Amino acid sequence: MTREADPSGCEDLGTELGGPGAPEAPLPLEGARVIEVAGGIPAAFATRQLAGFGAEVVRVEGHPVAPGLTEDEEIYLLAGKRRVEVFGEDLAKVLLAADIVVEDCSPGYLSRLGVDVPALRAGQPALVVVSISRFGQSGPYRDYRATNIVSFAMGGIMSLTGDFDRHPLVTGGSQADYLAGLNGFSAAVTAYYGAVLQGEGDWVDISAQECAAGILELYGPSTAYGGPVRPRLGNQTRAEWGIYPCIDGYVGIFALQRQIPALFEAIGDPELIGGPFLDPIYRLEHLDELLAKMYLFTSDKTREELIGIGREYNLPIGVAVTPAELLEHPTLTDRGFWDRVQAGSAVATVPGRPFTGIGWCPLERVHLPGEDTAEIMDRWLSPEPHTERSP
């Protein structure tokens, strides 16, 4: 199928590239036009999800927006997107031809490019604009510069990671950036469907710091409202809730209070079965003793043995898998989680559909910078009216 016949880029790649992730249900965002003003991970991840659900995504490039993406990030985040270089009045025209605009530039950057967002939305009230920034479009930190690690720390996640008597740590990857992108995606979809139903879009202001702060559960709110500062807990939130080494890697054991008797039965230590360790206060007061027993329990077993024990005793026991093992994981494979993207002469396996039951579009390749400028300018700015979605 040619690109002209399928402007969304959601081509039927069959088993060669699409595999089990090929669309088998209607694409919920088919027909939606999305502009990504090229920046970093947050906007690119948000629009990657929009593209997967069928939207046609055009990435506007050529502007000195930092930070950029690594080669690996480009393969994952840019697959299937049109890539254009437009400036000045042409940029405003392309934005007006879109249904959704997602950007993660610094506050005020679009205006410096000559784009007035309120004026855009006045010209097209149904337009949805999602602006993702480090600290929001207003407020005392608005113009502060930051990176993933700063958002991670300022949002409070770093207060939970690492051992309590050592420096705080940041998790691997770019968790704060992807979290901001995930919030950008959900905001874009929500506002877009509101515009489809009511004819009125929105300008959504998303702060990466607030996104991080919003996932802290009881730890953040209790501190923010005058409660005690909770110490970092390392790999063990408590002895019965943590990560432990085994013969061939690591396992996670996460037993709730109602599962403690079954856990102690599985461990088989007579000091635990029917003894004072059943009391949660006693467990906290004798944490080191119970930790030692947990380490002894896992250290002479394989991951598979511990998974079997979890099944036998109805306990939540999971394993830490390597990236290579994750690619072959039967659950993810059976559910068509992986997409395969053409990357030069090779094919890369990347994360795809976030959940089953909704149509998903495997994205075929990474386009070259500016490759689609002429085609998009011709098609999007033609006098032919853009077909809007019906409710």
135-160 tens-digit pLDDT:
999 999 999 999 999 999 999 888 88
Residue 388: its pLDDT value, please?
Answer: 54
Q: For the chain, where do the domains classified as CATH 3.40.50.10540 start and end?
A: 14-217+356-380
What are the CB-based long-range contacts (under 8 Å, 24+) for 230-235? 230/159, 230/160, 231/164, 232/159, 232/160, 232/161, 232/162, 232/163, 232/164, 232/168, 233/160, 233/164, 234/162, 234/163, 234/164
The average pLDDT across 299-314 equals 97
Residue 10: its pLDDT value, please?
Answer: 58
pLDDT band at 237 (very low <50, low <70, confident <90, very high): confident
Residue 363 has pLDDT above 90, yes or no: no
Residues in CB range of 118: below 8 A, 6 or more apart: 203
Asked: is 14-217+356-380 a CATH 3.40.50.10540 domain? The reply is yes
Q: Locate the DSSP E strands across 139-266.
A: 202-207, 236-238, 241-246, 249-254
Calculate the alpha carbon distances from 308 to 163, 296, 311, 314, 382 in Å: 30, 17, 5, 10, 62
Tokens of 189: 């979809």
Tokens of 357: 């039951």
Q: How far apart are CA 271 and CA 293, in angstroms?
A: 10
Residue 3 has pLDDT above 50, yes or no: no
Q: How far apart are CA 86 and CA 63, in angstroms?
A: 9
- Determine how many CB atoms are found less than 10 A away from the CB of residue 57: 29
Q: How far apart are CA 13 and CA 16, in angstroms?
A: 6
Residue 23: its pLDDT value, please?
Answer: 44
DSSP class of 193: H
Beta bridge partners of 36: 59, 102
> Which homologous superfamily is 236-327 in?
formyl-coa transferase, domain 3 (3.30.1540.10)
Do residues 52 and 360 touch, judged by C-beta distance below 8 A? yes
Q: How far apart are CA 101 and CA 23, in angstroms?
A: 25
Helices 41-52, 175-198: axis angle to 10 degrees equals 50
pLDDT band at 345 (very low <50, low <70, confident <90, very high): confident
Do residues 264 and 240 touch, judged by C-beta distance below 8 A? no
Tokens of 379: 């098609």
Q: For the chain, where do the domains classified as CATH 3.30.1540.10 start and end?
A: 236-327
Q: How far apart are CA 49 and CA 27, in angstroms?
A: 12
Residue 63: its pLDDT value, please?
Answer: 80
For tokens 């598979």, what's the residue?
304
Q: How far apart are CA 84 and CA 104, in angstroms?
A: 17
Calculate the alpha carbon distances from 7 to 4, 11, 126, 181, 387 in Å: 5, 9, 22, 24, 13
The average pLDDT across 356-362 equals 90
Q: Which range is least confidently modeled, 10-24, 29-43, 192-206, 306-320?
A: 10-24
Residue 203: strand, helix, or coil: strand
CB burial of residue 340 (10 Å; 0-12, 13-18, 19+): buried
The average pLDDT across 157-171 equals 86
The average pLDDT across 60-89 equals 88
Instruction: Print burial letters for 115-147: b (CB count within 10 Å at least 16), e (below 16).
Output: bebeebbeeeebbbbbbbbbbbbeeeeeeeebe
pTM for the complete prediction? 0.87
Write down the mean pLDDT value for the chain: 87
Q: Which range is least confidently modeled, 73-87, 158-172, 271-285, 376-390?
A: 376-390
Amino acid at 219: Y
Residue 49 has pLDDT above 80, yes or no: yes
Q: How far apart are CA 299 and CA 194, in angstroms?
A: 53
